[in-house]
């Protein structure tokens, strides 16, 4: 590989879009070429500079409120209209019965599998935690504060780790309810992205972190270890979420 | 009732990405007031078209609408800034990365970096926002901004060279910080 070939690959490498063979060749080239090695360091420091939290503009509260208010007022206008229509239509009760039957059929036919239902529940729980802005019962970046907090609140003791050194700082924890049982939820952050990690006991054998099909744009990774089952969910991209899962699983 | 369900679903799947929507609008429009207008209009449009959302990536879907809303808004409110077809070749920049001395950009304070991003042409700026702040892949950015993947790569590369150049310049002229 020469410098001309290496040039464009440096960005791809920094963006995680280079395959393993390319990475090997490029690394070898860096070893032989100080100029490209320095370009690589520059690419990395530029990336770091661009990922500062301070560069991200969060939506102002008044914008959020204005949008919600506008949507709800549109709804009120339409629902009055619906009601008026409904009186007309309801005279034909057979139509209503047919609609109910159709709805029932749709619901039955589209009912997801148990795993799919759980995944859906996990995503809903994640979204709820974001929307209420109350994602935490215990706010602490210290694993030695968060872990004891769960004692007495759960019938198991979830593993708690701070991954700040891996750039996934622990923000806190809370109790949640999934699949008919109380579970531990640990909250981590990467930049502005919140990661919820749900943990509860399982009889399943250990399994490697596996990405599940994203739901509504949220990525999900599931694994089991030492009698516990883990579900990580976030709007963070799948690659970084997988990094998180591996970092958490590693001792 | 059906409308109420639709709004509930919209609030649960799309609105959680409002921060991302506002952030993109803010970077494109350049100020809070216009960004709020664009983000709000985009969300209302998104609700109108929510029926066509197929449950793929809600964040990417919303940002596509934000982008389109912004460019429509730009045409109406600041037509002078519309570049039309961006001539990627005309914006070629000399290669500074290969021979520039290593500058510790990590130390660059947010204000300096913010100004440097703000000076980029909008088409380059949005690439930086989508890639570095939102973490989208090249393929996702291509789909979202409706350009070929090769254009995404070349715009990103140019945007980065411009940033390195202006930030390195900052450091030289500003001295040690």
Residue A78 confidence class, pLDDT cut points 50, 70, 90: low
Q: Is the pLDDT of residue A83 over 70?
A: no
**Mean pLDDT within A87-94:** 48
Report whether A14 contacts A43 (CB < 8 A).
yes
Least Cα distance to A217 among A199, A231, A196, A233 occurs for: A233
What is the Cα Rg of chain A in Å? 24
pLDDT for res A36:
93
| Distance of residue B123 Cα from the nearest chain A Cα, in angstroms | 17
| Chain B partners within 8 Å of A68 (Cβ) | 11, 15
Q: Is the pLDDT of residue A131 over 80?
A: no
| Distance of residue A18 Cα from the nearest chain B Cα, in angstroms | 11
Q: Quote the CA–CA distance of A229 and A212 in Å, as a whole number.
A: 14
pLDDT for res A94:
53
pLDDT for res B166:
87
| Chain A partners within 8 Å of B13 (Cβ) | 127, 216-217
Nearest CB neighbour to B132, from listed A47, A62, A217: A47
More confident residue, A141 or B11: B11
**Mean pLDDT within B150-156:** 90
Residue A192 confidence class, pLDDT cut points 50, 70, 90: confident
| Chain A partners within 8 Å of B136 (Cβ) | 237
pLDDT for res B109:
81
| Chain B partners within 8 Å of A43 (Cβ) | 97, 160
Residue B173 confidence class, pLDDT cut points 50, 70, 90: very low
Size of interface A-B (CB pairs under 8 A): 159
pLDDT for res B177:
39
For the segment A161-190, what is each residue's pLDDT rounded down to a tens digit? 888 888 899 888 888 888 778 899 999 988
Percent of chain A residues past pLDDT 70, beyond the cut: 83
In terms of CA atoms, which chain A residue is nearest residue B118? A55
| Chain A partners within 8 Å of B59 (Cβ) | 217, 235
Report whether A78 contacts B1 (CB < 8 A).
no
Q: Give the ipTM of the model, two decimals please.
A: 0.84
Task: Report CB contact under 8 Å: B132, A130.
Answer: no
In terms of CA atoms, which chain B residue is nearest residue A80? B1
More confident residue, A17 or B23: B23
Q: Quote the CA–CA distance of A182 and A153 in Å, as a whole number.
A: 9
| Chain B partners within 8 Å of A216 (Cβ) | 12-13, 55, 58
Q: Quote the CA–CA distance of A204 and A207 in Å, as a whole number.
A: 8
**Mean pLDDT within B150-169:** 89
For the segment B68-118, what is each residue's pLDDT rounded down to a tens digit? 999 999 988 887 777 655 555 544 444 444 444 455 554 568 889 999 999
Spell out the residues 6+ positions from residue A121 whose beta carbon is closer than 8 angstroms to its own: A178, A179
Nearest CB neighbour to B40, from listed A38, A63, A217: A63
Cα angle, residue B62 at apex, residues B60 and B65 outer, rounded to 5°: 110
Residue A102 confidence class, pLDDT cut points 50, 70, 90: low
Q: Quote the CA–CA distance of A102 and A112 in Å, as a whole number.
A: 18
According to DSSP, the β-strands at A207-215 and A193-201 are unpaired
Q: Is the dihedral of CA B110, A18, B20, B36 positive or negative?
A: positive
pLDDT for res A88:
46
Q: What is the dihedral of CA A153, A159, A164, A170, to 10 degrees?
A: -20
**Mean pLDDT within B121-133:** 94
Residue B174 confidence class, pLDDT cut points 50, 70, 90: very low
pLDDT for res A142:
79
**Mean pLDDT within A101-126:** 69
Residue A135 confidence class, pLDDT cut points 50, 70, 90: low
Beta bridge partners of A233: A196, A220
| Distance of residue A234 Cα from the nearest chain B Cα, in angstroms | 12
Residue A7 confidence class, pLDDT cut points 50, 70, 90: confident
Task: Report CB contact under 8 Å: B163, A57.
Answer: no
Task: Report CB contact under 8 Å: B102, A41.
Answer: yes
For the segment B13-57, what is each residue's pLDDT rounded down to a tens digit? 999 999 999 999 999 999 999 999 999 999 999 998 888 888 778
Q: Is the pLDDT of residue A11 over 50?
A: yes
Report whether B48 contacts B128 (CB < 8 A).
no
| Distance of residue B48 Cα from the nearest chain A Cα, in angstroms | 10
**Mean pLDDT within A74-81:** 62
The overall average pLDDT reported for chain A is 82
Q: Quote the CA–CA distance of B65 and A31 in Å, as a whole number.
A: 45
HSE-CB for B55 with a 13 A CA cutoff: 5
Q: Residue B64, Cα to own-chain centre: how many angstroms? A: 10
Q: With both helix axes pointing from N to C terminus, report the angle between B58-77 and B18-29 in degrees, rounded to the nearest 10.
A: 30
pLDDT for res A132:
54
More confident residue, A137 or A208: A208
pLDDT for res A185:
92
pLDDT for res B176:
41
């Amino acid at each position: 590989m020469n410098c001309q070939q290496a040039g464009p690959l440096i960005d791809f490498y920094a963006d995680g879009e280079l395959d393993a063979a390319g990475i090997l060749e490029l690394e070898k080239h860096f070893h032989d070429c100080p100029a490209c090695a320095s370009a690589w360091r520059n690419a990395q420091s530029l990336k770091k500079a661009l990922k500062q939290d301070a560069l991200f503009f969060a939506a102002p509260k008044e914008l959020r409120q204005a949008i919600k208010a506008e949507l709800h007022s549109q709804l009120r206008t339409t629902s009055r209209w619906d009601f008026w229509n409904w009186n007309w239509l309801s005279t034909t009760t057979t139509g209503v019965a047919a609609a109910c039957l159709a709805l029932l059929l749709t619901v039955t036919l589209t009912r997801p599998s148990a795993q799919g239902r759980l995944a859906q529940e996990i995503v809903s729980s994640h979204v709820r935690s974001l929307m209420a802005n109350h994602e935490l019962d215990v706010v602490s970046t210290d694993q030695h504060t968060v872990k004891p907090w769960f004692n007495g609140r759960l019938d198991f003791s979830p593993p708690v780790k701070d991954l700040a050194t891996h750039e996934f700082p622990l923000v806190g924890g809370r109790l949640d309810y999934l699949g008919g049982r109380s579970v531990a939820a640990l909250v981590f952050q990467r930049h502005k992205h919140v990661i919820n990690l749900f943990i509860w006991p399982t009889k399943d054998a250990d399994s490697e972190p596996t990405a599940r099909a994203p739901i509504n744009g949220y990525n999900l990774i599931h694994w089991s270890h030492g009698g516990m089952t883990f579900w990580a969910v976030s709007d963070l991209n799948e690659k970084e979420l997988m990094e998180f899962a591996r970092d958490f699983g590693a001792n | 009732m059906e409308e109420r369900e639709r709004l509930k679903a919209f609030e649960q799947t799309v609105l959680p990405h409002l921060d991302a929507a506002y952030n993109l609008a803010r970077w494109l429009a350049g100020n809070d007031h216009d960004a709020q207008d664009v983000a709000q209009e985009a969300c209302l449009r998104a609700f109108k078209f929510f029926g066509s959302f197929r449950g793929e990536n809600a964040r990417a879907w919303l940002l596509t609408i934000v982008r389109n809303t912004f460019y429509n808004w730009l045409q109406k409110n600041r037509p002078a800034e519309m570049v039309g077809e961006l001539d990627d070749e005309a914006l070629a920049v000399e290669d500074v990365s290969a021979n520039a001395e290593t500058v510790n950009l990590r130390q660059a304070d947010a204000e300096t970096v913010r100004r440097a991003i703000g000076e980029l042409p909008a088409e380059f700026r949005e690439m930086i926002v989508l890639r570095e702040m939102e973490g989208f892949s090249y393929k996702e950015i291509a789909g979202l901004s409706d350009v070929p993947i090769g254009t995404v790569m070349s715009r990103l590369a140019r945007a980065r060279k411009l940033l390195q150049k202006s930030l390195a310049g900052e450091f030289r002229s500003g001295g040690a910080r």
